[in-house]
Structure formats: structure tokens, C-alpha cells
A and B are shown apart, each in its own frame.
Chain A
Amino acid sequence: MQFFVNITLGGIATGMIVASVALGLVLIFRATNVVNFAQGAMAMLSTYIAYAILHHGLGYWLTLLLALIIAMIFGAVTQRVLIRPIQGRSPLNAIIVTFGFLIFLEGLAGAIWGATNRSYPAPFAESGEQLGSFHIAFSPFNLYGVVAVLLLMGVMLVLFRGTNLGLRMRAVAFAPEAARLLGVRVQPLLTLGWSLAAAAGVLAAVLVVPNSDLTPTFMDVILIYGFTAAVVGGLDSPVGALVGGLLTGLSLAWVGGYLGGSLEPMAALALVIVSLMIRPEGIFARPAARRV
């Protein structure tokens, strides 16, 4: 029984981390209509820079703030240099470009810092509480993860549904011509969307990194799980990202606990397939009308 409880708690903790990655994907998709596959790699590079800053003696929170700022600049530059030239073309181009960027960044990080694991600390204690003879595998750090993700989701909901800026960003992403005609400045808003998504990516990465150590490819597997969560929940819904993340995290934990850790990526694939068969747009998405 304790085993099941501990696994489920672990699944919720993982699910929150996955949801944070999914929120980043949702953010960039809603704001720019592009799925950025290099999201994880960009976050990884920002985390490495944070690591370097941390080792110069700055505290955890100050380093995080600096990393967010650096990530936002990084996101803006990426959008300007890589994405804007191919904006009018078919989505295939953007997919390939972001993938190329992904491995470029991984190679760059490997060339600078190498592949050996580096430790990046957690802001709160990572060991769970003892409740009598019952040891709960849910630590203050896990709680922090839950709070951080809920906050991020809340900010995104408010941004997209409650503010004018959010409305304009959505217009620019999904109906650029109409938006332009109405006087909305398209390019700066797209750049802003990439900036915000890069920041969200870093927030996710610092949640992941205490568990998995910093290496050039540490975000690869999490990106896949984040993608799973986004597909299950709906790529244009922040609430969907959260629910999808929880579902994904729990499924992975149960599969990993009862069947084996190496089956988890396939379990995620199975989850995606099942979700696509039942509800292709995702649980919380509004079905899009197709123009013939």
C-alpha cells in the first residue's frame, strides 16, 4: 500500500514537471502557431548558463531571475533570426528548422561543457516527511513544483483570456492578415511570444534538473513527455496542459513502478496513440473547423 501511495505521489510530482514543459509548448503554440521542438534544448542552454552563474557565488533565486532574463533574450533572438525568414512557408520548414536548432544547441553545450553530469541544486529539501512509520515520498521541493506550475498556468490563463495583449497575441498567431488589417503589429508580438515561452522553458528546466542532473540531453525525454501532455490535453489549452501533464505523470509512474522504467517512453507513446484515437484535438481543445 505504501508502495502504491509513494508511486502515486511521485507520479503527481513528475506530472507537474511535465505540465510545466507542456505549458511552454502551449504558450508558444498559442502565441505563434509554431511548435518549438528546440524548447527543451533552449531551456537546457539557459540552465547551463545559470549553472555557470551559480558557480560565481550568486544565490539560487537571483540566478534564476538572471536565467529568465537571458532566456527571454535568447527566445527573441531565435525568433528573429531563425523563424521569421521561414514564416510564410509550410509548417514542415519550421519543424525541421527547430529540430536542427535542437541538435545544434545540444552539440554546442556538449562542446563547451561536455557530457558529464553536473549537479544543479534544488531550492528546497528533497527528502520527504516521516509520518510515524509511514514515509511520504513527497518533499518540500515537490510542493514547490506544484505551486510553481499552478502559478504559471494561472498567469497564462490570465494573459490569454483576460488581457488585451493576450488577445492580440492569439490573433497574430492564428489570423495574422486579419490582425494586420486591424492595426496590430505582428512581428513584435510574435517575438514576445517566443520570449515568454523561453522563460517558461527555463522554469520547467530548473524543476527537472535536481532529479536528473545537467547534461546536454537532459531535456530530451522530458520534452517528449511534455509533448504527450500537450497532445492529450490540447495544444491550445493551458488547463489541458496541466491535466495532460498529471495524466502523463501518473501513467508513467504506474507503468514504471509496476512494469519497468524503460517502458515509460513507450507508455507515453501508447498514451498519445490512445488519445488520438479517442479525441484527436485533445481533451480541452475546441475542435477546429476545416476550410476546404
Chain B
Amino acid sequence: MNRRSGVILGIALIIFLVISIIGAALMTVVMSKARQTNDLEKRTQAYFFARSGVEIAREYVNEKRKNDEQFFDEKVIVLQGDLSSENNGELSFDFQDVTNVWSKEDVRASFEASASSFRNHEVVTAIWRNSESTNFLSSGNAGNMTRTLAFTCSEGSDPTGGLPEFDMAVFAKTDFEITNGSIVGSIGTESTVAGSVRIMNGSITGGINVGPNGDTGVGYWSGNKNKGFSVNEGAVVQSEEWIWNQWLKFRTIGTLSEPRNYTLPDMPSLYPDPVFQSFPVQSSMEQHSEINGSWSKTTVTEEGYFPSILINGEVEVDLRGNQSFTMLTESFKLNNDGPFTVKGPGRLDLFVNDNFSTVDYGSIRLTDGAELYIHVNGSFEVGCNMSATGLYVNSNSSFLHKNGKLSILEEAIIKSSSFKSRGGGEIDLHGGKFEVHTSDFFEIDDGRSIKNIGTGIVRARNLEIKNGHISLSSGSDKSLILFAENTYSMGSDSSINNSNEDEAAKRVALYYYGSSPVTIGGGQTFIGTVHSGSPEAQLNMTEGGKIVGTIITASEDVIISGGSQANVTAVYAPNAHVEHNNGTVNGAIVCDTYAMSGGASVNRLGDFDPTDFVFPGSFNGTSDQNSEAFELWGE
């Protein structure tokens, strides 16, 4: 037998073995790399699931705390669900209250211990609060991979926005006096000076807060000392013995934990002037002779330049179906019944270089789906019933609506020296835009109405609602902002946003920059926010006035008297002396000094919710020691 027989096969098999080993090693390396990539994919998706859990939980906390501020103070809640099971944008998550099962002191340990039971959900988030922050522990599960994120946040005291603290019926920073009146709710002062809260008559249903470290005893008022209760001449609160016996001894007198720093929000910048469309160039248009409407019907079937348009009998612009006509003229005058008719379908842009006017009768009308956009560079005076799709007045002259129904279907943008609506009729915006800028008066008189505003901006040097009404179209997205640069006044029986709709007060704001007194009285109704920026502008709320919303004033002098009624977030006048002679404030008052008499009342009721109203502008907080908002992420 040859000893070498079969050796080569052995060598070949060894080579095969070596190659197999190399192949297996290679495969292991490659599989490891693929597994790593796969793990990375799952880890990344798990990370986004965990982030999503925090997002969902944060909004859940916000919503829950809207109804119950203390909801999370004692609870530990777990939310769980799947993001990829989304059905037409609908996702359903479960929540579990694990307060009694998990230790609030070590939620993480409980969370990790329960991890295996949560594996079948993509998103699992635990929520709990401690004294200063809200905490979230969120797990994302993708395949067999889990990522856990920790998130902690605090709203802080919001130094750049939000609501001041309206936790008392009346807060008077330095001095408080009741000679006759009733307060439902608590009161407070920052003062620690003896006798800076004086109660001679009237009632308070809530507690009394004095300045930090102030004397919380009660002293006699008007020298009636040593008559039955502990005399304390250093006490901030001074009163009569009978008041003490009747109700004061049942009230809690405490101290503020820290001084309050009620500051005024910034006044917004004045609304900028509108930008108007350019007029067409006359020379580039087809030239026509003037339209001098006779008593017989005149039909216009071509666009172009017309030196003037004067209408006595009917003039019809026939757009001949879906055409866009542009007509340019120096002046437009409806001198008699007319009517001036635009027959559609189609669009007519009517440019008037100078004045546009009508008599107090006749009509300007649209038929067959016509659209009419009127652009005027001179004065505008309308007295007839008039319909237009858009109205654009860019003029240094006046705007006068003296009669008839002015119906604007899309938008009215007016820049003029003055805007006056008086006589008969009304202006109907049909839910469209209404923007007016005047260098002098914006005036409504004779009971006229500007109604159905969708989005409204009125910027006037002098805003005078002598006798009239401004109202919004129905819907939560409608708004009106009024800017009064120099004076603001409302006459008797006038109204702005007299609406019963929910949250109507959030839709209207008046910003007043002048220094003349502001009076709300005489049957006026204002539903919205009034913000007066001048310290000189005294605020008077007098007989028959009704305001629903928020009153913010930099004034040093506020008078509430004569049966006025304010349903407000607050009469917020941190620098003012408030003389409350009569009348009712349903809400809170914040001021520097406060004097109540004549049976006045302040009711900060249990269902008081400042967020029902708008507190505009940036606000610098109520405390000198603002805690800052923060957000912290971790794993």
C-alpha cells in the first residue's frame, strides 16, 4: 500500500475546513454588523416613541390641570398605547392610576419593575408631580428594544407672559379701606404698616393677607381700645369691635409669603398702515368718453379709461360672462336713482382717482354673480344702498357713510382723514375683513351699526362711538382690535361686541394711548379687553355701564360708581387709587390703594377663572423672585 495514497484529499479537506472557518467567521462578523444596524433602527424608533410619550403626556397634564390644578399633586398616572396602530389619524391610549401601587418617592424603580408588563405597548409614560415640577418617565418599545427617557419641566412664574395672580377679590398694595361695602373672596395688601387695612363697616367673606412678616393681629379703629378683644396697636388690620364680634374674628389673617410685583403689560405697537394696489396707468388703457348717464339705460360693455362717471338713470356694466374688466375714471357720482348695476358673471375693478359719491337714494348693485372691487383715492361718500365685493379707500380726505346699507362681501380697507357713519342704515361686512385707519376721527352716531365683522382693525386718532354699535360675525375665530391714539369715548346706549357667545370677550381688545379720561357708563356695553396705557387717563365706570372682559390701566385714578357692572378677570390698575363708591365688580381688583363705600361690592366667586378672559401683552410677573421655567431631558 502506498502511504501517500489519499494525502491530497486530506490536504484538500483541510483547505476546505480552513475556508469554511474563514467563511463562518466572515458570516459572524457580517451578521453582527447587520444585527447592530437592526438594533440601531429599533433603538432609534424606540427613542422617538419615548419622545412621543412625553409629548402626549405633557398635553394630557395641561388638559387635566385646566379643570383641576391639583390633579397630579398626589397622583402617579401611566399612559400607554401604540402609535403605529393609528387609524385615520385616530389613536387611543389607556391610562392607569398607579398612585396606590407605585411609590411616588421612587417612581423609576416601580416603572422599571413593571417594564415587562408594558412591553406590548409602543409608548408607556408615567407622570407625577413634585412641589416644583412635573416629571415624566417615558418608555418606547420597538421590537425587543426599549428606550426610556426622563423629562422634567416647570412652568415657573412665567416672567414673559401669562396671567398675573388674581387669587384675591381685592389686592391693594399699600392701603385698604372699607367704609361700606361687601367683598366675596379674600383681600390682601403688601403693607405691614399699622392700620393700613381699615374696616369700618361692611363685610369680607374670605381671609385677609398682610405683607410679609406683618402683624396679623387686629387693632381697634378710631381709638375704641380695651373693649373686649386683644388690642394691638401695631396690627395692620384695624376695625371696630362689633365687626370683630360679628364676623372678623372668624376670618383668617395671614401674611403673604413674598412681596407681589404687579406690573403693567406692554402696550402693543400701533397697527401699521395698509398697503394698497397700484392704480392702472391711463395711457395704457383704451380711451373712452365720459359716462354721462341719461335717464335712459346706458350699457357699458368695454373696459378702459372713462374721464368721469356720472349716473342719473340706469348704467349697467355688462361683464359678458366671466370677464375681468378694469375701469379707470377721475370721479364717480351716483346723482340720482340710477341704479349703477354690474352684471356678471365676472369681475369689475373700478378705480376712481378722485372722489366717489352718491346721493341718499338709488343703489349700486351686483347681479348674476358679478364681483365689484372699488378703489378710491379721493373722498368717499355713500348714501344709497350699495353692494361691493371689496372696497379700498386710500385717501387724505374723508370717508362718510351717511345713509343706506353699505354691504361689503369680502373686505373693506380704508385709510382716510376721518371715518364717519351716521344717519340711517348700516355697514354689513358679512364676516369679512374691516380695516380702518384715520388720522383724525372714527365716529359712529345716530344709532348706526357696523356689523358682522370677521377680522377688524380700527386705528384712529380719536375713536368716538357717540351712539352706535360695532359687532362681530358669529364664530370663535372672529376678532376686532381697536387702537385709539388720542381720545376714546362711547356715548349712551352704544355697544362694542354685545354678544352672548362663549368667550366673546376674548375676541375684542381696545388699546388706548391718550391721556383724556375714559368713561364707561350710561348704558354702554363693552365686551372685550380695555387696555389704557397712560397714567393720566382716569378711568370712570359710572351708572349703567357694563363691561365684560378685562380692564387694564396705567392710570393712577380709577372711579367705580353709580351702579356700574363689570364682569371681569380684573380691574387691573396696579398704580391706581381705586375709589369704589358703588357698583359691582364680579372679578378681581388689583390696585395700589383701595377705598370702598356706598354699598359697593366685589365678588370673586368660587367659579372665577381668569383664563376665561384674555390678559394681553407681555407681563412681567407678580413676584420679585420669579422661578424660571425649565425643561430637562435625561435617560
Q: Please say whether chains A and B are actual partners in one complex.
A: no
Chain B contacts to A: CB under 8 angstroms: none
Which residues of A come within 8 Å of B, CB atoms?
none
